Structure 1
Amino acid sequence: MAEWTERDIPDLSGRVAVVTGANSGLGLVTATELARHGARVVLAVRRVEAGEEAADGIRRTTPGAKVEARHLDLGSLRSVRDFAKEVDGDFRAVDVLVNNAGVLHLGPRRETDDGFEAHFGVNVLGHFALTGLLLGALGRAEAGRVVGLSSTSHRGARLDLDDLMGRRGFKPRQAYGRSKLACTVQGLELHRRLERAGSPVRSVLAHPGICRTNLSTRAFEDKDPVSQAIDRATQRVFPSVQGGARPQLHAATAPGVRGGLLYGPSGFREFRGPVAATEPAPAATDPETGRRLWEAAEELTGVRHP
């Protein structure tokens, strides 16, 4: 089978896509390609001015591109609710939701506006709430998709359901891995619930492997030495952000994608290589863990998925 590339993205004219964290990195590449292939793309960003600059850049490279920036702070449940209400009211349907935004290696321990540990609050709970609030719009699409962003770091992580906020022995890199394991657990649990409900919406996961993204360099300036070393190494060795975005673009657009799968690079240790379906870590696939984490997320956010 030939390697999947951006050339394989079908015509997306008439479809609406929402991409979180779309002003830079993987999110910007994803939004650009979706717009290039005809989708109307909402750049969901914390800093609207950065989102407007990104939208202008997309329009310059793709004349006629339908892109717009809207404010979304995943560290604030109020902002998530306001954004979702606005999008749900402005569009007949949302065809694709790419939960791309995230924070990485934040230290020391910090909290969101709602008092959640920052990695868990933004990467997990913010996207959980957003997905639930947009499920109605996704259900109105012919075949809506939710793409959750996992990471190779989910494989070495451990989820402590009794300490989701990381109050015991907080370490930034562990907190990030834990959040990505939780994202993977939730993506698979959403798939189970959608299937049981007979919904046409698909929940798909993707991870970029390791690539030269600016996610870690956008983290707080007091990064630990290990994170700084990782930044330097990835700049020299691993693929560009364009290559890193391919798994989530595949998950968002490829006709044969099935719910409940995790797409990522198929090469050595899934760091790089052609896009393929990969196996999530066993810790991510346990339905009981999925149920318990789901119920905890509902209680923490106050959002119940319809």
Structure 2
Amino acid sequence: MTGWTADRIPDQHGRVAVVTGANSGLGLVTATELARHGAHVVLAVRNTAAGQDAARRIGGDVEVRELDLASLASVRAFAATLAADHPAIDLLVNNAGLVLLGPRRVTADGFELHLGTNMLGHFALTGLLLDALAAAPKPRVVSLSSITHKSAHLDFGDLMMERNYKPSPAYGRSKLATTLFGLELDRRLRATGSPIVSTLAHPGLTRTNLTPRAWEHKGRLGRAIATVGLLATQSVEQGTLPQLRAATDPAVVGGQFFGPAGLGETRGRVTEAKLSREAADPAVATRLWAAAQELTGVRYL
């Protein structure tokens, strides 16, 4: 397999990079590569014990900070202390995410858990760190999407899926919302002349711990389904390359979206990914942005 690899990441010395969900999977590999190339990496994790274990594995210049994206209070506290300690942040990788196939659950603020964690938490975090990002010389924000966004649809009459909850569509909606957010962030940054670049990526089908966890509620059968499903996936190292390129390639411009090139964007070398029609609709993005501001209380751009 040829194409863009992590060896093409430029020198990151002197740069501060924040990676959410950095203790495992895509986030761990992203943090590892950024640290390997010299960045000071902030591991933003819900479980600090797991974060400390990841820090020992990564080595390099890393620190661990607690962040629960399912709690706006946690997001605000994290952003306030981080910006105080790091007035200029060069890179924010909105990587953390969850997928659950059990009953409907909500965040500490009453949001449907997928949307609240995967999109709204990152929306609030990005807004609260915007000044620190703008203070860096070449700042960048990366939002992690999924190929599931292509089959998803946002119902603004029931954003929290209170009437007709189904877990798989809930996850897809959260990733459609994340994609819309990343693109709308790019449009708004451009309109204001901000130096911040907003990019997006998705990992295709990658072997992470999300799939086994999603099926845990089904017991032995669920674990068997997850094991069979993992056979069709690519390695986490390969799956991380789209977001690493979105985060570090000097040639990348705002609004670019990277994913795997092969088998319906499920695996393979890094290329520019395709958007669903709804994800590419600025009117939908504008409406979602307004809803996110109202729900989180974080208003920016």
TM more than 0.5: yes
Q: 1:43 to 1:268 in 2, by over 3 A?
A: same
Q: Contact 1:144–1:201 (CA<8 Å) still a contact in 2? A: yes
Aligned to 2:57: 57
Cα 1:78–1:223 shift into 2, 3 Å: farther
Query: Partner amino acid for 2:239?
Result: G
C-alpha offsets along residues 251-284 of structure 1, whole Å, 9 cap, x if unaligned?
0001111111110001110001110112211110
| Aligned residue number for residue 37 of structure 1 | 37
Once the two structures are superposed, the pairs formed by residues 213-252 of structure 1 within 5 Å of their partners are 213-219=208-214, 221-223=216-218, 231-252=226-247
The structure-2 alpha-carbon separation of the partners of 1:230 and 1:185, relative to structure 1 and needing over 3 Å to count, comes to farther
- Classify the secondary structure of the residue corresponding to 2:271: strand
Contact residue 9 and residue 37 of structure 2 kept, 8 A: yes
Q: Which residue of 2 aligns with 1:141?
A: 136
**How far apart in 2 are the matches of 1:88 and 1:229?**
44
Aligned to 1:191: 186
212-221 vs 261-270, which deviates more? 212-221
Distance 1:227 1:20, change over 3 A: farther
* Counterpart in the other structure of 2:25: 25
Supply the distance in 1 between the matched residues of 2:6 and 2:133 (Cα, whole angstroms): 23
Whole-Å Cα distance in 2 between the matches of residues 55 and 271 of structure 1?
A: 29
Q: Distance in 2 between matches of 1:256 and 1:218?
A: 36
Evaluate the alpha carbon distance shift between residue 287 and residue 185 of structure 1 in structure 2; reply closer, same or farther with a 3 A threshold. same
**1:264·1:270 contact (CA, 8 Å) conserved in 2?**
yes
Q: Where does the alignment leave 5 or more consecutive residues of structure 2 unmatched?
A: none
The reply to whether residue 73 of structure 1 matches residue 73 of structure 2 is no
**1:42 partner SS:** strand
Distance in 2, matches of 1:96 and 1:68, equals 15
Pairing 1:201–2:179 present: no
How far apart are the structure 2 equivalents of 1:30 and 1:204?
15
1:79-123: per-residue Cα shift (whole Å, max 9, x none)? 000000011110131111000001102420000000001001000
Aligned residues of 1:106 and 1:220 also touching (Cα < 8 A): yes
Equivalent of residue 270 in structure 2, options 269, 275, 280? 275
**Distance apart, 1:233 and its partner CA:** 3.1
The one-letter code sitting in structure 1 at the alignment partner of 2:27 is G
Query: Which secondary structure state, in structure 2, belongs to the residue aligned with residue 274 of structure 1?
Result: strand
Does residue 279 of structure 2 align to residue 284 of structure 1?
yes
**Partner secondary structure for residue 10 of structure 1:** coil
Aligned-pair distance for 1:217?
2.3
Measured in 1, the distance between the counterparts of 2:173 and 2:19 equals 23
Name the structure 2 match of 1:7.
7
Q: Which residue of 1 aligns with 2:79?
A: 84
Q: Is the 8 A contact 1:106 1:119 kept in 2?
A: no
**Could you list the per-position Cα deviations for residues 212-263 of structure 1 after superposition, in whole angstroms to 9, with x for gaps in the alignment?**
1111223473159997566223422321111110000000001111111110
After TM superposition, the score normalised by the length of structure 1 is 0.95
TM-score in terms of structure 2 length: 0.96
How far apart are residue 174 of structure 1 and its match?
A: 0.6
After TM superposition, the structure 1 stretch with the greater mean CA deviation from structure 2, 98-107 or 81-90, is 98-107
Cα distance per residue 1:161-194 (max 9 Å; x no partner): 1111011210101100010001001111111100
8 Å contact 1:189–1:291 — kept in the other structure? yes
8 Å Cα contact 1:31/1:41 also seen in 2: yes
Q: Could you say if the C-alpha distance between residues 265 and 227 of structure 1 is closer, same or farther in structure 2, counting changes exceeding 3 Å?
A: farther
1:212 to 190, 207, 211: 207
Contact 2:242 2:258 (C-alpha < 8 Å) held by counterparts: yes
Distance in 1 of aligned mates of 2:220 and 2:124: 33
SS in 2 for 1:182: helix
Matched, 1:159 2:159: no
* Structure 2 equivalent of residue 62 of structure 1: none
Mapped partners of 1:225, 1:16: distance in 2: 43
Structure 2 equivalent of residue 114 of structure 1: 109
Segments of structure 1 that go 5 or more residues without pairing to the other structure are: 60-64
- Per-residue CA deviation, residues 119-145 of structure 1 (Å, 9 max, x unaligned), is 010001000000000111110111111
Q: Describe the shift of the 1:126–1:226 C-alpha distance in structure 2 as closer, same or farther (beyond 3 A).
A: farther
User: Percent identity between the aligned chains?
Assistant: 59
- CA distance in 2 between counterparts of 1:230 and 1:197 reads 48
Give the alignment's Cα RMSD to 1 decimal: 1.6
Structure 2 CA distance for partners of 1:195 and 1:109, relative to 1, 3 Å: same
